[in-house]
Structure 1
């Protein structure tokens, strides 16, 4: 069995690698060659923790396995990351354990890559202003990955606590992009692409705040009752997603569907656009929205890639198991 510890992943996995892995697995899903299995997510009744696992099988790339982990809110006080996860890969031909991979950084990279893939395939080519809603752990990953997909000239951002935007400002500066903390009204009025990456249960961005032609990547809603944007905005937009079944149950689409504003048949897998089976954006005035719910196949794709990189560079640890 191969072990790839968390501490070496930052030196192995690039944003380009993550983008390619996620684009390929979305395409495989749309072709019916990859399938996610039912998600388990439970409060364990200890340490206020949420625990779960996501799993699946990609026949196109023979990636089989699961990501296990969750959220331990007391970890920060212990000097640990609150979100903890590990990916286990299995040999699709024999069922033997192939690899054990640290999943914390990979989770952030694969989530950002999904937003980036949506921007690459759905945002207007002339997009120049990037808007970010949220300033949590994943926000800077989102900014860096998405900013590479269009010739952005500046970044505008909003967070409930504006002082927490410093990390985003530094990330923008690293990429040579002017950065400004703005109101939600200004963000919606100026941004060509908007990424929402929060854990909100109340809509932050309203329909009237978003101008025609905007592309939104809604990346924070991955649990029942979470909500980042108003359902009427979802209803107005042409909606794409990683997996339709998750979008209508735990994704941003859940509320619009429950209110009868959007039907399941109206939601398009992003992989269909990647494969050329759907045209994607139909006009410069169209509002497009990517509902990124996060699927297990994403984790398997990036974990498999980092295992290959570790083996190629002689950094993989082989363990008898």
Structure 2
């Protein structure tokens, strides 16, 4: 089997590779060629950590496996990323373990690819202002990926801990984009595209703050109880997601579903848009929202690409169990 380290993953997988892998697997899901298995995600009662498993099978891409890992909120103070995970890939023809792939970088790059796929297919073509809610580790990946999808002219950002914003501002500067720290209300009033990437358990953006034509990518809500935006935003928006089952149970839609302002039938898999089975955005005034819950197939898609490229480039370690 192959062992592909975190360092090698960073060497072989770029944003374009991740975008292609995620877009293709979303399309495969909507065709019925790929499916996720039920998610297990639990508080372990130690270190305030959430731990679980995401797995699935993509018949089109022949990716079978599981990502094991979770969220350790105290890791940043230890010089580690809060998200820790590893991907195990299996040969779908034999069931044998084929690769062990570091999942931390890939989790960040596939999450950013997911929101950038939604921007590519749903945001207005003339979107000029990018709004970032959240300034943690993954926000930098989100900003870099989003900037490649539209000709943004500036970035506005808010974070519950303002001292973290300068790192995000430095990324914007690298991209040649003016950066401004603003209030949540100002962000909603100015941004054409908004990415939320936090671990919040309460709404950070309210319906009245969102202007017509905005595209919102909610990327932080992946656990029961988490929440980043006012449920009224989902009621007012055309809602898309990676997978409906996760959206209604652990995604941002869980709250609007619970209060009855959104029905499961109101949510469209983004793969339908990619495949041309749904028009996506239908007007410049429409608010669109992507509920990016993070499905196991995303991880398997980028991990499979990493394993393939690492082997081709002679960078994977081969071992026998």
- TM-score class, shorter-chain normalisation, is over 0.9
Asked if structure 1 preserves the Cα contact closer than 8 Å seen for 2:201 and 2:227, the reply is yes
Q: Equivalences for 1:239-254 in 2 at 5 Å?
A: 239-254=239-254
Q: TM-score normalized by structure 2?
A: 0.98
Match of 2:136 in 1: 136
Runs of 5+ consecutive residues of structure 2 not aligned to the other structure: none
Kindly tell me: are residues 173 and 276 of structure 1, through their superposed partners in 2, closer, same or farther at Cα, counting changes over 3 Å?
Answer: same
Look up the match of 1:319. Answer: 319
Residue 83 of structure 1, CA deviation = 1.8
Give 1:195's aligned residue: 195
**Structure 1 runs not aligned, ≥5 long:** none
Please tell me whether residue 123 in structure 1 is matched to residue 123 in structure 2.
yes
**Does the aligned pair in 1 maintain the 2:8–2:316 contact within 8 Å?**
no
Show the counterpart of 1:13: 13
User: C-alpha offsets along residues 31-78 of structure 1, whole Å, 9 cap, x if unaligned?
Assistant: 011000011112223333321110000001100000001123343444
> In 1, Cα distance between the equivalents of 2:248 and 2:5?
35
Mapped partners of 1:205, 1:217: distance in 2: 12
Find the aligned partners of 1:111 and 1:30 in 2 and give their Cα distance. 19
Question: Structure 1 186/202 Cα, relative in aligned 2: closer, same or farther at 3 Å?
Answer: same
2:277 aligns to what SS in structure 1?
Answer: coil
Structure 1 73/156 Cα, relative in aligned 2: closer, same or farther at 3 Å? closer
Could you tell me which residue of structure 2 aligns to residue 154 of structure 1?
Answer: 154
How far did residue 294 of structure 1 move? 0.4
1:250-289 → structure 2 map (5 Å cutoff): 250-289=250-289
Paired residue secondary structure (1:10): helix
Counterpart residue number, 1:100:
100
Summarize the Cα distance change of 1:128–1:94 in structure 2 as closer, same or farther, 3 Å threshold.
Answer: same
Counterpart for residue 212 of structure 1: 212
2:9 and 2:230 mapped to 1: Cα distance?
37
Bigger drift between 40-49 and 22-31 goes to 40-49
Tell me, yes or no, if the aligned pair for 2:87 and 2:299 is still in contact at 8 Å.
Answer: yes
**Structure 1 residue 29 and structure 2 residue 18: aligned?**
no
* 8 Å contact from structure 2 (residues 223, 250) kept in 1: yes
TM-superposed deviation, 1:162: 1.8
Superposed CA RMSD: 1.0
Which residue of structure 2 aligns with residue 223 of structure 1?
223
Contact 2:41-2:223 at 8 Å conserved across structures: no
Distance 1:46 1:179 in 2: 38
How far has the Cα of 1:11 moved from its partner? 1.4
What's the CA shift string for 1:122-174, capped at 9, x where partnerless?
00000011000111111111000011000111101111222210111011111
